[in-house]
């Protein structure tokens, strides 16, 4: 499923293959999300997903945070690694919830490079540390992170860290002039 949510400070695009787990689904419902299908296992469906993510990011009137679950995490990484920079630079960061440790087949195969934005990986399985390292993602215990207001606090934490990074970068650039 693809979920699109807009908040006051950022737009959130969430990806999940099928229904998200109940706790994540509840958080998405509280955000009044719109659900769209992630797509089937064909190249055409995957390419359509890429076009939908592109369109969401392009039309967003603020920075985007990706929220992904399961195979949706692989889809987010695939899109981030292979999309033109003018799309990817509009993404403030990603929260990746329980990604699949193995990409079944090569549905979302992409180069093994760091994601071009900050990310946090929530892991309730204890099996995805190598994948999170490949993405350059901060690993956090996943258990209760999506219950109650914890997901909203994680989004605030991610977006706050992005703003702090942007300020430090601007200060460094100003010192070069």
Q: Which residue has the higher pLDDT, 100 or 165?
A: 100
3-state SS string for the chain: CEEEEECCCCEEEEEECCCCCHHHHHHHHHCCCEEECCCCCCHHHHHHHHHHHHHHHHHCCCCEEEEEECHHHHHHHHHHHHCCHHHHCCEEEEEEECCCCCCCCCCCCCCCCCCCCEEEEEECCCCCHHHHHHHCCEEEECCCCCCCCHHHHHHHHHHHHHHHHHHHHHHHHHHHC
Rounded Cα distance between 75 and 27, Å, is 21
- What residue has token string 């509840």? 26
Instruction: Tell me what pLDDT residue 135 has.
Output: 94
Instruction: Tell me what pLDDT residue 76 has.
Output: 94
**pLDDT of residue 60 exceeding 80:** yes
pTM over 0.85: no
Tokens of 88: 């990817």
Give pLDDT tens digits for 22-54. Answer: 877 777 776 655 465 688 888 899 999 999 999
Rounded Cα distance between 101 and 104, Å, is 9
User: Over pLDDT 90: what percentage of the chain?
Assistant: 29
Question: b or e along 36-54 (b: 16 or more beta carbons within 10 Å of the residue's beta carbon)?
Answer: bebbeeeeeebeebbebbe
Instruction: Tell me what pLDDT residue 1 has.
Output: 55
């Amino acid at each position: 499923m693809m979920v699109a949510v807009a908040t006051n400070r950022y737009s959130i695009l969430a990806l999940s293959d099928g229904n998200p787990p109940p706790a994540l689904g509840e958080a998405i419902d509280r955000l009044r999300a719109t659900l769209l299908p992630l797509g089937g296992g064909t190249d055409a469906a995957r390419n359509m997903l890429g076009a939908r993510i592109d369109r969401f990011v392009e039309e967003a009137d603020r920075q985007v945070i990706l929220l992904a679950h399961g195979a949706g995490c692989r889809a987010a990484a695939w899109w981030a690694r292979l999309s033109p920079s003018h799309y990817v630079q509009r993404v403030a960061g990603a929260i990746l919830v329980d990604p699949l440790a193995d990409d079944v087949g090569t549905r979302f195969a992409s180069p093994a490079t760091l994601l071009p934005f900050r990310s946090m990986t929530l892991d309730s399985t204890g099996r995805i540390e190598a994948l999170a390292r490949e993405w350059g993602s901060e690993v956090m215990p996943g258990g209760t992170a999506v219950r109650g207001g914890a997901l909203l606090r994680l989004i605030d934490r991610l977006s706050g860290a992005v703003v702090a990074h942007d300020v430090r970068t601007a200060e460094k650039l100003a010192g070069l002039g």
